[in-house]
Structure 1
């Protein structure tokens, strides 16, 4: 009866675990808190100095082609390289010995000392205890990653200090495989090149997401049953 109850509880646990959706890695694409807290910059009249060749009106003769207004497009060149190597080592040891001879009980005329003297006639009786343990562990990890891509982003908000909050999305469907790329962050207008491009290293609070969806992605993932057994298996 007890075995049957244990099997019932185990089967019920597996049922509930199987119904629980797996949690995949994700990136929160929401803007940082300070982007929402800072007020937007006033757009002004559009042309601060009437008659100037360098004005910011509609298509001025010598205008700057860099992104400068909300909904303007800026090209982001993503070139991220990560290299990490770490080594750790730890070694400990402990050795202790305790010895208590039977002669301790032979002093005096107590009944216990008489028994000890009689036993000592046939052998050397004593009490001893000791312990020894040691640990030696070491580990080394090494990882190199590189990601290169280009994506266009849109200026979502111009902050009060003149910086831009940008956000870009790109979805590509090739032979049933969907590639998704998302990027967001805060940039300075001074870091935008004359070709309206900016390197990803100049993006503050950068969030870059790249993932694929399709048959190849599903075939490279572990089945939910395997993930459950790995999560609850104690050995």
Structure 2
């Protein structure tokens, strides 16, 4: 377990990191060295294609993605597609539990070869082995809980194909940052998509992304004010009550 002095030092260093941002807007995350940059600069696999003749070069029906009617959907590493996020979910759960139990026990020894009668004569007034002991118990429990939530998000983000798996599935990653004054809005999406699910407009909806990881949040002065201080967070963890 961390000693109190070491904990104070750690909190002090964490606070110093925040002090460096005083009067400054949040910095953008660098894309250098990211999977998106690697996919962009990596050469794609060569495609087998027959040499085009002079007639094919001037035809409107020429093959390839650069032709007038070519398929421009993302298919290779480094290609870009648009992810459409339209979440409008609501859930309502209500549970109720009730439990009740009653118990009663009585034990006595009214007759046993005259022994109880002889013992009763030596006991204080009112005491008798005929009713040695009597006990009763009762317990009641009631519980009730409910959950109601509603989420609605409408976003669009450009994602990059960072890897093409052997089975043809595409792994995509997208990151978007918008800074307004001293607040940074961040949107991140990752997951796996099938090329067949990409529309002719080179778009795909979030519900067709396998293993989708969507993060929408921010960082900056407003976000910091909405979070409890480090001391309060530590107190909430340490305090048992």
User: Shared fold by TM > 0.5?
Assistant: yes
Following superposition, the deviation at residue 77 of structure 1 comes to 1.0
Q: Check 1:189–1:14 CA distance in 2 against 1; reply closer, same or farther (3 A cut).
A: same
Following superposition, the deviation at residue 154 of structure 1 comes to 1.0
Match of 1:55 in 2: 63
Following superposition, the deviation at residue 204 of structure 1 comes to 1.2
The aligned length equals 203
Q: Check 1:231–1:70 CA distance in 2 against 1; reply closer, same or farther (3 A cut).
A: same
Q: Is 2:121 aligned against 1:117?
A: yes
After superposition, the CA RMSD in angstroms is 3.1
Taking the TM superposition and a 5 Å limit, the aligned residue runs for 1:68-217 are 68-101=75-108, 104=109, 107-108=112-113, 110=115, 113-119=117-123, 122-123=125-126, 125=128, 126=131, 127-217=133-223
**Secondary structure class of the residue paired with 1:193:** coil
Contact 2:120 2:127 in 1 (8 A): no
Q: Check 1:233–1:176 CA distance in 2 against 1; reply closer, same or farther (3 A cut).
A: same
Q: Check 1:100–1:18 CA distance in 2 against 1; reply closer, same or farther (3 A cut).
A: farther
Following superposition, the deviation at residue 50 of structure 1 comes to 4.1
Match of 1:43 in 2: 45
Following superposition, the deviation at residue 178 of structure 1 comes to 0.9
Structure 1 runs of 4+ aligned residues shifted over 6 Å read: none
**Secondary structure class of the residue paired with 1:201:** helix
Following superposition, the deviation at residue 229 of structure 1 comes to 2.3
Q: Check 1:140–1:98 CA distance in 2 against 1; reply closer, same or farther (3 A cut).
A: same
Once residues 206 and 62 of structure 1 are traced to their aligned partners in structure 2, the CA distance between those partners, rounded to angstroms, is: 31
Q: Check 1:167–1:46 CA distance in 2 against 1; reply closer, same or farther (3 A cut).
A: farther
Q: Which runs of 5+ in 2 are unaligned?
A: 15-33, 36-43
TM-score (normalised: structure 2): 0.72
Match of 1:27 in 2: none
Match of 1:7 in 2: none
Contact 1:106 1:116 in 2 (8 A): no
Q: Is 2:231 aligned against 1:225?
A: yes
